[in-house]
Amino acid sequence: MSACPLSSTRPNQRFTPEGGEALEEHLERTCSRVLHAVRALIPPAKLEAVYLGGGYGRGEGGVLVTERGERPYNDLEFYVFAGGNRHLNEWRHARALDVLGEILTPSAGAHVEFKIASGREFERQPISMFSYDLVSAHRVLFGSDYYFQRCSHHCHAPKIPLAEATRLLMNRCSGLLFARELLENAAFTPADADFVSRNIAKAQLALGDAVLTVFHRYHWSCKERHRRLKHDLALANAPAWREEILRLHVDGVRFKLHPTCSTESRDQLRARWEQLLPHALQVWLWVEEQRLGLPFANARHYALEMHAKDSAGGSPRKLAAQLWQNGARGLLSGQPLRSPRERLLRSLTLLLWEPEALTHPRLVMRLQRELHSDAVALPAFVRAYREIWRRAN
C-alpha cells in the first residue's frame, strides 16, 4: 500500500485489519479476476494503472460475520487509469466496465464498481478528500507504485479545503434523508433496516471526520482519525459538543470495520435516527460557519440566508457541467447556471432539520423552487432531491 511520501507496495498488505485468511484470499482472487477482465477490455496501449481504493484498498475494509463465515461488506472500488482524454475513455469503456461490475458482484460478495480516471488530470487537479485518500493509500493491481509521483500535492491532508468537509456532510446527511423516507414508508423490509442502520453509522463517522477536516487534522485511516479526535491537542478549541461527537465516532468506526446486518425494528432505528439529527445539525452549522464566516442560528436561517453557499461559474467545462446537472427544468427556471450544490445544501437543510418544511406554504414553495419540482409531500421531494444529488456527484 502506498502511503505519502510515496513508497512501494508492502508485500504483506491486507485488505482488512482483522479478517481471516479465507476472506483475504477471496478478495485477492477477486482482484485477480477484476484485473484479468479489465486488461481484456482496455487496450494495452491505453491502460496505465489499476488500483483498488476505498476501505479495502487502504487495508481497512469491513468484515461481515455470517453463518457461512466472513464476507466483505463495503463496495470494492476500482480505479482504471487510461491514457488520453478521460471523457472519451468514459464514452468508449464506461458502459462495458459497468456491466463487468454487475457480472463480478455476485461472486465477489460485494458491489464491484469502476471509475475511469486520468493521471494527467490528477496532476492538474487541486487536492480533495477523495484524491488524498486514493493517492495516500491504495492497493496496486497493475502499474507502477510510483504512478502518482507527480501527484504528491494530493498527499498533504492539511491543505484539504473546508468545502470538502461540507461535501462529506452533504453526502452523509443525504443518506439520513433517504433513511427518513424509508422510515416513513408504509412497508419496512429487512433491506430497508440495513440501509437505515448503515447510513446512521456513516453519518456518525462523518461528523467527527468533518471536525478533523476543519482543524486540518484529517487522515486517510479511520483508526488514526479516531485517535486524533480523541487525543490531538490541536482540537483543544473544538466546541463543547466534541465529546458527544467522539462517542458517535466510536460507533462509526466500529461499524466500518465490523459491520452487521441490522435486526432492529423500525421504531428502534427511528429512535436512533432522531437522536443523531440534533448532533448532525450542530456540526453542519458549525462547519458552515467556519467555511463561510457567517453565523447561523438554526436550519431555517441557513437555508434562507441570501449569502451563496456554493459559488457558481468557473471554466467553460464547469459551466457546461452545471447546465447538465440542472437538467431541462433548470433551463426554464431563469437560473440555469445556479450551482446544483447550492440548491442541495439549502433544500437538504430544510428537509432534514426544519419541522415546518412540509407544512409552511412559503417553505414548501422554496423547496419547489430549489428542487425544480411541483412536489408537496416528502416522497416526491426526496425523488427530486435524489436526482439532483446523483447528477451533482
* CA separation for the pair 57, 15 (Å, rounded): 6
Query: How many domains does the structure of the chain reveal?
Result: 3
User: 125-151: buried (b, 16+ CB within 10 Å) or exposed (e) per residue?
Assistant: eebebbbbbbbbbbbbbbeeeebbeeb
The CATH number of whichever domain residue 45 belongs to comes to 3.30.460.10
337 and 269 both lie in a single domain: no
Confidence of residue 250 (pLDDT cuts 50, 70, 90): very high
Q: Which among 159, 181, 216 is the end of a domain? A: 159
29 and 144 both lie in a single domain: yes
pLDDT of residue 13: 87
Closest C-alpha to 115, from 34, 178, 45:
34
Kindly state the cell numbers that stand for 18.
Answer: 482483522
**Is residue 3 one of the residues assigned to a domain?**
no
pLDDT of residue 197: 98
What average pLDDT does the structure give for the chain? 91
pLDDT in tens, 321-334: 454 445 555 544 45
111 and 169 both lie in a single domain: no
Burial class (CB in 10 A: 0-12, 13-18, 19+), 209: buried
E-assigned strand segments in 85-229: 112-117, 139-142
Indicate the DSSP class of residue 217.
-
pLDDT above 90 covers a percentage of the chain that reads 83
pLDDT in tens, 108-145: 999 999 999 999 999 999 999 999 999 999 999 999 87
**Is residue 15 one of the residues assigned to a domain?**
no
**Is residue 5 one of the residues assigned to a domain?**
no
207 and 277 both lie in a single domain: yes
Indicate whether 199 pLDDT > 60. yes
Confidence of residue 96 (pLDDT cuts 50, 70, 90): very high
pLDDT of residue 7: 43
193 and 144 both lie in a single domain: no
Q: What is the mean pLDDT of residues 333-341?
A: 68
117 and 177 both lie in a single domain: no
Q: What is the mean pLDDT of residues 248-269?
A: 96
269 and 251 both lie in a single domain: yes
**Is residue 304 one of the residues assigned to a domain?**
no
pLDDT in tens, 46-56: 999 999 999 99
186 and 286 both lie in a single domain: yes
pLDDT of residue 154: 95
CA distances from 22 to 26, 103, 140, 389 (A): 6, 22, 21, 38
* CA separation for the pair 121, 112 (Å, rounded): 24
**Is residue 10 one of the residues assigned to a domain?**
no
CA 151 to centroid of chain Cα atoms: 22
Higher confidence at residue 5 or residue 94?
Answer: 94
* Helix, strand, coil tally for the chain in percent (to 5): 60, 10, 30
pLDDT of residue 8: 40
**Is residue 302 one of the residues assigned to a domain?**
no
pTM listed for this prediction: 0.90
Structural domain of 112: 21-159
**Is residue 146 one of the residues assigned to a domain?**
yes
45 and 63 both lie in a single domain: yes
Burial class (CB in 10 A: 0-12, 13-18, 19+), 233: exposed
**Is residue 6 one of the residues assigned to a domain?**
no
Q: Which among 265, 295, 325 is the end of a domain? A: 295
94 and 134 both lie in a single domain: yes
95 and 198 both lie in a single domain: no
Q: Which among 235, 267, 295 is the end of a domain? A: 295
92 and 191 both lie in a single domain: no
Q: What is the mean pLDDT of residues 354-380?
A: 96
